[in-house]
A and B are shown apart, each in its own frame.
Chain A
């Protein structure tokens, strides 16, 4: 009984100012403690290079982010083990001197990579989860009833994602010359399904205008269409034109729904050391009247991984997430500063000789002073965190975009 009465008495003494004891647990509103992960999704049908792109992003993160004050690292042991396994397979395949398609096995089930961007000494970092799944699930006729539930979870994940990356098989776009081959592109690249899911994603983003919304169209397997990474011909304009033509509807629909979305076109070489030798087209056995493309690649000597523009996707991703966290940190820092100021005003307030003496006697004055000091420290920490994030955002903004990158 006495506890609420006494608390009420103290509240009166403090003039109704909200009070936080230094000994109570941390509030959950600190920017650093807010540990819900961002979500990042790949969106594309089968065999367009989703897993290869993820593998390249994770492989390149360490070297690409040098000098940015950011480290991309696995958040859990499982993800760490997955990354190591991917890296070993690719490096082993290249070390053998020829490109072994077995190194990139088609996905059997969905996978979530749990990652974090560590910014300086911050103990939590910015967490984000990255979704990969069998691309065939985009088509209900090929999904299999057993995968329906998992696919619905993937759809929910994609809709909630802050960043959507659309890998596009550049070989299909560039090697489709004949009418029948071009007619097969919607079947092979599923731009219609991509548009529907992107639209659903954009609707969610529209409801959260303060959250980041980044859409990256990333043509993959571009090694043979650019002359900036060992390729012999520059067909980059043709690739851009064809891609924007095929995916123009996706872009238009997203911009109409969530105009604050940032859209980029980033054609990437995930390996950098392969050369397209031939691309044969054959009828698809399951779907009459459609063709599918069978590309054949050779390894360019000296068989070393030389990815291109993958770092640009990393910069865009990191910058987007860091900016978003920075906005939250800004709000939290302001709230912390206000609370510290209120606590300081309360601690330094003179309430007359007798009241001051009484407050000193019962220890309330000391408690207020401790609270003032603690909240001032907290405000300084939040401000320092905000400064660090701002510095990181600035560093990431300074990173030169690869010449291939275009804002679309």
Chain B
């Protein structure tokens, strides 16, 4: 499993968000940017069946920068299907979803990272990355520290989930939906294609419907203010049977007829007559 962490420094100026050590080769989450604000909590777990990727944005931290602003972490993980370290990724997703769902006494994903990466360590890793040319060392240290942090999170209950539609949407505060999302995430880590997401901008199911085009379907959680009924809302209900209506159906029912010889001759005679009249006029 590869680990990437984006963090802000303590300085007001010069403390901009950067990935410590190295950034992912491709910022793949950008293709979903219209669904979330990168500054606010977001969860994306994506799998094509062979590899999986996780992006958690807006992970709150207890740290404050010198302006007393609360920076957030962005955690990016990726690996191959069946990677044993995926269990750590699942712990992180479980903890963050519980935190976003305001589950009482849930472990805080940001807090365990804070514990492993105190401000002075972040400053040192930032300096290694930006100034000192020690990116490779920073990459190794970030991976070690983040994995240690994730190992302190409790393992999620792996009990099966109730049957769910291929693509569904629900509220983050719905415990059943969170369990279903986590179950789906576990299958993605194991090698099933699909997407699991918590998106902070949409407030209606229709907005996220394009995600159903993702191979393997989409399990989407939205913020508690979203206008959704309780439970899992099927994003991809079976289409109603089409009734043949309109010009297309008529055209299909009656294939075009080829003109007869008589019709062609008559048309040619009429054209010849028209040409003669025109010649007379001009």
Contact = CB atoms under 8 A, between A and B. Distances in A.
Kindly state the interface size class of chain B when it binds its partner: 35 or more
A58 B16 CA distance: 25
Contacts of B15: 136, 286
Interface string B248-282: 00000000000000000000000100000110010
A82 B17 contact: no
Given A9-B278, A85-B37, A134-B16, A144 B23 contact: yes
Contact of B12 (A46, A81, A82, A104): A46
Contacts of B127: 286
B236 interface: no
B17 A108 contact: yes
B11 A292 contact: yes
A245 interface: no
Given A146-B27, A294-B66, A294-B67, A47 B13 contact: yes
Contacts of B71: 105-106
Given A77-B207, A141-B130, A285-B11, A107 B67 contact: no
A212 interface: no
Interface string B27-41: 100100111011110
Contacts of A46: 12-13, 16
B18 interface: yes
Contact of A102 (B23, B35, B69): B69
B192 interface: no
Nearest to B10: A285
Contact of A292 (B12, B17, B37): B12
Interface residues of A, number: 46
A289 B50 CA distance: 51
A287 B126 CA distance: 12
Interface string B150-174: 0000000000000000000000000
Contacts of B23: 144-146
B110 to A, nearest CB: 13
A290 to B, nearest CB: 8
Contacts of B39: 105-108
B57 to A, nearest CB: 7
Contacts of B40: 85, 105
Nearest to B17: A108
Contacts of B91: none
A146 B72 contact: no
A293 to B, nearest CB: 8
Contacts of B123: 285
Contacts of B131: 141, 286
B17 A286 contact: no
A329 to B, nearest CB: 31
Nearest to B72: A105
Interface in B66-87: 66-72, 74
B189 interface: no
Interface in A126-147: 134-137, 139, 141-147
Nearest to A86: B37
A85 B23 CA distance: 28
B11 A284 contact: yes
B125 to A, nearest CB: 12
A188 interface: yes
Contact of A354 (B10, B37, B68, B281): B281
Contacts of B271: 2
Contact of B74 (A108, A286, A292): A108
B269 to A, nearest CB: 14
A9 B57 CA distance: 67
Given A85-B201, A146-B23, A146-B27, A284 B13 contact: yes
B237 interface: no
A146 B18 contact: yes
Given A82-B201, A285-B9, 20 more contacts: A45-B13, A77-B207, A82-B37, A106-B17, A109-B38, A134-B16, A135-B16, A136-B16, A141-B130, A142-B16, A144-B129, A144-B130, A284-B11, A284-B13, A285-B123, A286-B11, A286-B14, A292-B12, A292-B13, A292-B66
When A and B form their complex, which 10 residue pairs have the shortest distance between CB atoms, in order from nearest?
A136-B16, A146-B23, A144-B18, A286-B14, A108-B38, A81-B201, A102-B70, A105-B39, A101-B69, A78-B34
Interface of B: 6, 8-19, 23-24, 27, 30, 33-35, 37-40, 57, 66-72, 74, 123, 126-127, 129-131, 200-203, 207, 271, 277-278, 281
16 contacts: A47-B12, A47-B13, A77-B202, A78-B35, A102-B70, A108-B39, A108-B74, A109-B30, A136-B13, A144-B23, A145-B23, A284-B13, A286-B11, A286-B130, A355-B281, A358-B277
